Amino acid sequence: MTSEHPNAWAADAIRRLRAEGRAHGPTPLRPLPLPALRDIEVYLKDESAHPTPAA
């Protein structure tokens, strides 16, 4: 059994996303409302904010 906090993976994921944003410019995180799952917060990374240039 691990002594790590149950939400440590979420905190680490958010830290990584923020670090990536600092390196490549901010990519907005958009909340995804899930009324049936009130205790769960889901965010989507809006990649359309920085589209890849067409070749």
What is the Cα–Cα distance from 27 to 5, expressed in whole angstroms?
27
- pLDDT score recorded for residue 19: 78
Helix (H) or strand (E) holding 31: strand 29-32
Q: Judge whether 29 lies within some domain.
A: yes
Q: Judge whether 27 lies within some domain.
A: yes
Helix (H) or strand (E) holding 13: helix 8-24
- pLDDT score recorded for residue 47: 81
Total of domains in the chain: 1
Q: Judge whether 33 lies within some domain.
A: yes
Residue span of the structural domain in which 45 resides: 8-49
Q: Judge whether 2 lies within some domain.
A: no
Q: Judge whether 21 lies within some domain.
A: yes
- pLDDT 10s per residue in the chain (55 long)? 455 677 888 889 888 877 776 666 677 889 999 999 888 999 998 888 777 776 6
